Amino acid sequence: MPEIKPIVWIVAGLVLAVLEMFVPGMVIIWFGIAAVVTGLLALFIHSPYVHFGVFIVLSGLMVFFSQWIGRKITKPEPEPVGANRLTDAEGRVIQEVRPGEPGRVKVGGEEWRAECHSALTVGTMVRVVRVEGTRLIVKPL
Residue 29: closest CA among 14, 40, 41, 42? 14
Verdict on whether the full-model pTM lies above 0.75 = no
Percent of the chain at pLDDT exceeding 90 = 62
Looking at every residue in the chain, the average pLDDT score rounds to 90
- Measure Cα distances from 106 to 60, 109, 110 in Å: 53, 6, 5
Specify whether domain 82-140 bears CATH 2.40.30.10. Answer: no
User: What is the full DSSP assignment across 31-53?
Assistant: HHHHHHHHHHHHTT---HHHHHH
List pLDDT tens digits, range 18-35. 999 998 888 999 999 999
List pLDDT tens digits, range 92-105. 999 999 988 899 99
Q: What is the mean pLDDT of residues 56-68?
A: 94
Q: 90 forms bridges with which residues in the sheet?
A: 127
Gap between the Cα atoms of 126 and 88, Å rounded: 10
More confident call, 59 vs 71 = 59
Domain ranges (residues) in the chain: 6-73, 82-140
Say what the pLDDT of residue 79 is: 67
53 has pLDDT over 80 = yes
Q: Which residues fall within 8 angstroms of residue 129, CB to CB, at 6 or more apart?
A: 87, 137, 138, 139
Q: What is the mean pLDDT of residues 45-62?
A: 95
- Give the pLDDT band of residue 80 (cuts 50, 70, 90): low
Q: Is 100 left (phi over 0), alpha (psi -120 to 50) or beta?
A: left
Gap between the Cα atoms of 12 and 18, Å rounded: 10
